[in-house]
Structure 1
Amino acid sequence: MKILIANIGSTSFKYRLFDMTTEATLAKGGFERVTNYSDAIEKALAEMKASGALPRLEELTAVGFKTVLAKGVLGCAELTEDVLKAMEEMNEVAPSHNPPYIAGIRKFREKLPRTPMVGLFETAWWVNAPEAAKCYAVPQQWTDWGVRPYGFHGASHRYIAERVAKLLGGSDLRVISCHLGGSNSIGATHGARGVGNSLGMSPQSGLPHNNRVGELDAFAIPFLMKTHGLTIDQIVRSMNKEGGLLGISGVSNDVRDIVTAAEQGNTRAKLAMEVFAHSIRHWIGAYLVQLNGADAIVFTAGIGENQPQLREMVCANLDWFGIRLDPAKNAAHQRGQEAVISATDSRAKIMVVSTNEEIVVAREVKKLLESRK
């Protein structure tokens, strides 16, 4: 069983082909600055054919997608036209994510009309979170309209929880996972249950993101409209394109550039990193209370795995909890390495673990297809 996982961004396309009999990766690749998804898909299929990973398209069992949000769809589902329309209904909530995914899925359907297209929605891992974690203090009618926290990055937080359980040899662990990349979130998992996620109704919420605003008081929007004359479209664009770490630093939406600028004395860049760490610590603190402690605090994704300075900022002054980082282990961590970087007497393990969202999606796609036999 060969399953192709397509990861579609607003200007990028990445893929990974799995042999699900062994979960081996047969091929992977990607393209940046994509303006034509049809061409990118053709190139990807040609690469897999040339490498021998996929000699014939008929060998492909399904294409899986790490889809974001659809009205009334929270788990793993075949991406029928009805499901795509349900995604379109939530475009205003996920404007940076849903439109490119929908366009990419439709292009795949044109290229592979007989191959099932299946999406694992990022909200899936949080379906069984406590009801209190899935409710805003709004009128019931708003809730009925879909105004509620959904949580995202579910595949990543699930993978980390399951991987940490294997590494530490436990089945009922309390794991706080810090997915820090272009999009950022903190997740809390207890055993096999997602308990909470810092992302709320939209992927623009929670922590500051690369150029998306993160947490913002809702009344800032009518203030800007009434006092400064901004339109809703202007505000939405600013929140999606000009906010986050870019907005604070004024330097870049790339943490590497911001760290360099901060080291060179740029005060706005320094503030951006401090705000980022402050927000991460805020959510870790919340989940330490929610979980009644933690067995592991885990850093993952591009920033989480590769920024030791940020990990040090986040883990500072947690002595009251009995949580202590080992500065030498933190500084010595090598890219791609799974490691424990906490002190030997730390009550919770502090870890760096690479995420693998694609294999989580592939497993769920396989499970869905097998359930229909």
Structure 2
Amino acid sequence: MIVLVANLGSTSLKFKLYETSADESLTALASGAADRIGQGGSAWKVSGSEATREGQADFADHQAAIAALLAEMPAVGFGDSSRIDAIGFKAVHGGPISGAVRVDQDVIDTMTSFSDLAPAHNPPYIAAMKAFAQLLPDAWQVAAFETAFHQSIPMARQVYGIPYDWTEQGVRRYGFHGASNAYIARRMQQIRPEAKRVINLHLGGSCSACAIKAGQSVANSFGTTPQTGILHAARVGDFDMYALLKLRGMGLSVDDVLSQLGKQGGLLGISGVSADMRDVQKAASEGNERAQLAVDAFVESCRHYIGAYAVALGGVDALVFTGGIGQHNIRIREAVCRDLAFLGIRLDETTSAGADGNAETLVSRKNSDVEVWVIPTDEEQVVARQTLEVLAGSASAT
């Protein structure tokens, strides 16, 4: 069986194609990616067994990117995309739906009803499900929801200080980036089984921190929605809801405020330059004070959660950087780890500067009590296995 796993960020698209063998191992056949979707100048790349093709294009939305990348599959040696048997989606918010499920109209309707809580994620995934249904009508679809990995978080860290009947109606901290955190948790158990207390920083267009104890999530920086926590590319991060009173007094409606917080916040909102950290850092290096403030605020939000989760875990054995910024942005890693020796975190700046962001690399000093790692996440592998489990269950039930 050939499974395509689609991983859609708020401004990005990645996919991997896997083939399963009799021993249930996964063999990667091809991959593709596009960034800056909806921002202009998207860099895209498709790799297969025979070739790699890449270029730049202006993808107006995720649907346009999907169609373009699938059209490149024959040229890289995969053949026609109709060979694909199933599509697994790293879905974000399904409200009461957790884990991995077959995509049907009820799932799409539920995701649609929760789009107000995940406006940067659910709409692209819903559009992608519809686009793939048109492009690959015979392929099964599975949604693997991001909240599943965080079911182990203690209830005291899930609840808000709100009337309890609101909690019973589903207003609580769900946690997201579940596939990424699940992969890092499992990978750390494989390469450093003695590291029981891990803080994972997934930093990219969407950002989060996760406290992992003995392979299980015990805290996550996201809340009811993926808007909260660490400063994001264009989403607000942590925010005092009572500021709405001030904003309404400025003539903004609630819808206006929520739209701007979800699309014009984060790095973009503070810097006024871009939602892309690379652009913001470039502007900061050229003397743009707001751009420098955006970088500093981003770093501080990461450090805030490191401190909080060191307490939640009762200490730290390993700090992991993953995601586009975490894996590839040397200056951000240095700034986040600066002056954290009191927590036992000592970054080897030379090793970090020379690290290949696409390879697992230990970047802490030899005298660091806490190991600092750069580990490329593989959310697609996690979702591929979840997809196969759902399809196997569906087949046995028929």
TM-score normalised by structure 2 residue count: 0.87
Cα shift readout 1:119-178 (whole Å, capped 9, x = no counterpart): 11111110121111221111122113321111111111111121122222x176221110
**Where does the alignment leave 5 or more consecutive residues of structure 2 unmatched?**
38-57
Query: What does residue 308 of structure 1 align with?
Result: 330
CA contact (8 A) 1:15 1:28 kept: yes
Contact 2:100/2:143 (<8 A) preserved: yes
Aligned residue pairs: how many?
370
The separation in 2 between residues aligned to 1:311 and 1:116, in whole angstroms, is: 40
Within the alignment, does 1:191 sit opposite 2:194 as a pair? no
Aligned to 1:28: 31
Residue 224 (structure 2) pairs with residue 221 (structure 1): no
Look up the equivalent residue of 2:230 and give its one-letter code.
Answer: L
Whether the 8 Å CA contact 1:177–1:186 is kept in 2: the answer is yes
Mapping of residues 6-25 of structure 1, within 5 Å: 6-9=6-9, 13-21=13-21, 22-25=25-28
Residue identity over aligned pairs, in percent, reads 43
Aligned to 1:255: 277
SS where residue 73 of structure 2 aligns?
helix
2:268 aligned partner, one-letter code? L
For residue 47 of structure 1, the aligned residue among 62, 72, 82 is 72
What do the CA deviations read for 1:259-301 (whole angstroms, capped 9, x no partner)? Answer: 2222222222222111111110110111111111122100111
Supply the distance in 1 between the matched residues of 2:372 and 2:11 (Cα, whole angstroms).
34
Cα distance change on mapping 1:42 and 1:268 into 2, 3 Å: closer
Q: Quickly say closer, same or farther: Cα 1:19–1:283, change in 2 above 3 A.
A: same
Q: Which amino acid aligns with 1:216?
A: F
Residue 353 of structure 1 pairs with residue 375 of structure 2 = yes
- Superposed, 1:94-105 pairs within 5 Å as 94-105=118-129
Query: Gaps spanning 5+ residues in structure 1: where?
Result: none
What amino acid is aligned across from residue 384 of structure 2 in structure 1? Answer: A
Equivalences for residues 65-214 of structure 1 within 5 A: 65-168=89-192, 170=193, 173-214=196-237
In 1, the alpha carbon distance for the partners of 2:260 and 2:125 equals: 22
Distance 1:121 1:323, change over 3 A: same
Displacement of 1:108: 2.0
Under a length normalisation based on structure 1, what TM-score does the superposition of the two structures give? 0.93
Tell me the distance in 1 between the aligned counterparts of 2:255 and 2:134. 32
Q: Which amino acid aligns with 1:133?
A: R
CA distance in 2 between partners of 1:230 and 1:188 (Å): 37
- The correspondence for 2:387, drawn from 335, 354, 365, is 365
Q: In the alignment, does 2:361 pair up with 1:339?
A: yes
- In 1, the alpha carbon distance for the partners of 2:307 and 2:154 equals 18
Tell me the alpha carbon deviations over residues 315-371 of structure 1, each in whole angstroms, 9 at most, x when there is no partner. Answer: 122222222112222222233231111111211101111111111110111122223
Following the alignment from structure 1 to structure 2, what is the Cα–Cα distance between the partners of residues 246 and 77? 35
* Cα distance in 1 for residues equivalent to 2:65 and 2:278: 28
> How many Å separate the matches in 1 of 2:12 and 2:184?
24
Instruction: State the alpha-carbon separation in 1 of the partners of residues 363 and 280 from structure 2.
Output: 24
Aligned in 2, Cα 1:251/1:71: closer, same or farther, shift over 3 Å? Answer: same
Pairing partner for 2:86 from 62, 66, 90: 62
C-alpha distance in structure 2 between counterparts of 1:194 and 1:28, whole Å: 29
Q: Which moved more, 1:311-320 or 1:203-212?
A: 311-320
Answer yes or no: is 1:290 the counterpart of 2:315: no
Structure 2 SS opposite 1:91: coil
2:47 match: none
One-letter identity of the residue aligned with 2:4 = L
Give the CA deviation at 1:26. Answer: 0.8
Contact persistence 1:11–1:35 (CA under 8 A): no
Q: Distance in 2 between matches of 1:99 and 1:334?
A: 33
SS in 2 for 1:127: helix
- Check the 8 A contact 2:357/2:374 in 1, yes or no: no
Query: How far is the alpha carbon of 1:310 from its aligned partner?
Result: 1.4
Letter in 1 for 2:7: N
Give per-residue Cα distances to partners, 1:55-92, cap 9 Å, x unaligned. 473x4331100111012101111111111111111011
Aligned-residue CA RMSD in angstroms?
2.0
Q: Tell me if the contact between 1:12 and 1:34 (Cα under 8 Å) persists in the aligned partners.
A: no
**Deviates further, 237-246 or 258-267:** 258-267
Q: How far does residue 20 in structure 1 lie from its aligned partner after superposition?
A: 2.5
Letter aligned with residue 327 of structure 2: E
Q: Which residue of 2 aligns with 1:280?
A: 302
